[in-house]
Amino acid sequence: MKFGTPVPDMGSGPIPAESVTSPAYFEREREQIFKQAWLQVGRVEEIPNPGDYFTRELHVFKSNIVVVRGKDGAVRAFHNMCTHRGMALATESCGNTRGFTCEFHGWGFGLDGSLQAVPAIESFPDFDKSKLGLKALACDTWNGFIFVHWNPQPAQTLAEFMGQLAKDMDGFPFDKCQHIAHYTARVKANWKLCIDAFQEAYHATYLHRHAIPGAGDLELALPTSVRFYGPHRSVSCWLKTDIQPTPAEAIAYKHGHFGFVKADEGDSRGLNPSGDESWWFDINVFFPNFFCDLGRGWYFTYNFWPVSENDTIWNMNIYQVQADTAGDRLAQEFTRIVLRDTVYEDMSTMEYSQKAFDSGVITEQTIGDTEIAMRHQYWVADEWVNGRRP
């Protein structure tokens, strides 16, 4: 394992369980992490036309938000609540509208959030419509990904927050990939426990030894390289080339099943920043809760949305290059099923871990070098919670 950046001093001891069990600690995370960071909520393809919108229930904000494309083409985000008496404006998960009208009293808002119509406006003394527009969140995009920030005027721009990791990923053909699958789950576990299984390969050598060909090789437990970018991190994984695929697997691999290709095949822009010789894909983690894993011709994303200290909503979206042939389509379907089965195995572990820590019997996590990305996640979270942003 090599490091492509300096390694921060994160310590080497066990990780206390308090950070995954304490309601008080979670409330500090809500205020000091999630209300201070840019959070990924969607992609621009979801709202291609003026008036297109989608809503997101963000429990960590205790708020529902609406993201909408304006008449000017700009993407904006608002708290989905009327500024009169708090009624939800968009009650569907997505749609197209000329504006938002409250079903309670008929107040009307433009796509830019401005208050435009108030029935019986004369009954409100000293009324100023300009002060009662929708409550905005900061909103910006990167490579088609839509991000929001609780603060309408955050201290950091999105580009500043994403930093060098985003620059290393620039050039990847996100716009050439099509969405092939979406999975979601409600997990009775802390959001950081849910993240843990997705940023280390140590568990794959046993848990995924059947779902992923070659995963049982212990040599693959260590990353090929690791990089740290302030609160963010990137981990590259080995490619095992001597597997013996089944006939169905062989067809899928031939047509581009998620990354089982030769090292010199496909577009390499935005990939393998450390130039690893044996390379499969990069696990890119934007703090606090957005993964964007990249391979040649495919990528997938995870979001981990906290509800409470032991309750998380997990989302996964899978993308691959456009399928032009029947073989390409078969490879896409194979990818969808293999990843579904793999993450199902991951999900099977999380609630058991949460119960163990909640019991008080297990009071800490012992972290090895193969799990260095986990250590970074807990270290960064604790730094932010305690006002020491690295």
Read off the pLDDT of each residue in 21-35 and give the average, rounded to a whole number.
Answer: 98
The string over 336-371, giving b where at least 16 C-beta atoms fall within 10 Å of a residue's C-beta and e elsewhere, is bebbeebbebbbebbeebbeebbeeeeeebebeebb
- Candidate from 81-85, 143-147, 273-277, 337-341 with smallest mean pLDDT: 337-341
238 compared with 277, residue with greater pLDDT? 277
Query: pLDDT value at position 129?
Result: 95
**Alpha-carbon span 205 to 276, nearest angstrom:** 21
Query: pLDDT value at position 170?
Result: 96
Question: Quick count: other Cβ atoms within 10 Å of Cβ 40?
Answer: 20
Query: pLDDT value at position 303?
Result: 98
Query: pLDDT value at position 390?
Result: 60
- Give 155-192 pLDDT, tens digit per residue: 999 999 999 999 999 999 999 999 999 999 999 999 99
State the pTM of this model. 0.92
Query: pLDDT value at position 255?
Result: 61
Cα angle vertex 280, ends 222, 199, to 5°? 50
Burial class (CB in 10 A: 0-12, 13-18, 19+), 57: middle
- The yes-or-no verdict on residue 282 having pLDDT over 60 is yes
DSSP characters over 199-252: S-STTHHHHTTTTSTTTT-GGGGS-SEEEEETTEEEEEE---------HHHHHH
- Give 184-194 pLDDT, tens digit per residue: 999 999 999 99
DSSP H or E run through 166: helix 158-169
- Give 203-245 pLDDT, tens digit per residue: 556 555 555 555 545 465 577 899 999 999 999 987 655 556 6
Q: Which two tokens stand for residue 365?
A: 């996590």
Query: pLDDT value at position 245?
Result: 63
249 compared with 179, residue with greater pLDDT? 179
**Alpha-carbon span 341 to 335, nearest angstrom:** 10
203 compared with 83, residue with greater pLDDT? 83
- Give 324-346 pLDDT, tens digit per residue: 888 778 778 877 877 787 877 77
| HSE value, Cβ hemisphere, 13 Å, CA-based, for 233 | 28
Nearest to 252 by CA among 329, 343, 340: 329
SS3 call for 85: coil
- The yes-or-no verdict on residue 36 having pLDDT over 70 is yes
Q: How confident is the model at residue 276 (pLDDT cuts 50, 70, 90)?
A: confident
Query: pLDDT value at position 337?
Result: 79
- Give 344-390 pLDDT, tens digit per residue: 777 778 899 999 999 999 999 999 888 899 999 999 999 999 998 76
- Candidate from 84-93, 105-114, 314-323 with smallest mean pLDDT: 314-323
Q: How confident is the model at residue 263 (pLDDT cuts 50, 70, 90)?
A: very low
Query: pLDDT value at position 204?
Result: 59
Q: How far apart are the first and last CA of the chain?
A: 23
- The yes-or-no verdict on residue 299 having pLDDT over 60 is yes
**Alpha-carbon span 65 to 58, nearest angstrom:** 7
Nearest to 314 by CA among 198, 145, 196, 191: 191
Q: Which two tokens stand for residue 199?
A: 């940023």
Over its C-alpha atoms, the chain yields an Rg (Å, rounded) of 22
Read off the pLDDT of each residue in 45-53 and give the average, rounded to a whole number.
Answer: 99
Share of the chain above pLDDT 90, in %: 68
Q: Residue 390, preceding bond cis, omega within 30 degrees?
A: no
- Name the range with the highest mean pLDDT among 132-146, 239-253, 266-280, 330-344: 132-146
Query: pLDDT value at position 209?
Result: 56
Q: How confident is the model at residue 259 (pLDDT cuts 50, 70, 90)?
A: very low
Read off the pLDDT of each residue in 60-74 and give the average, rounded to a whole number.
Answer: 98
Q: Which domains does the chain have, with CATH numbers?
A: 2-33+163-385 (3.90.380.10), 39-155 (2.102.10.10)
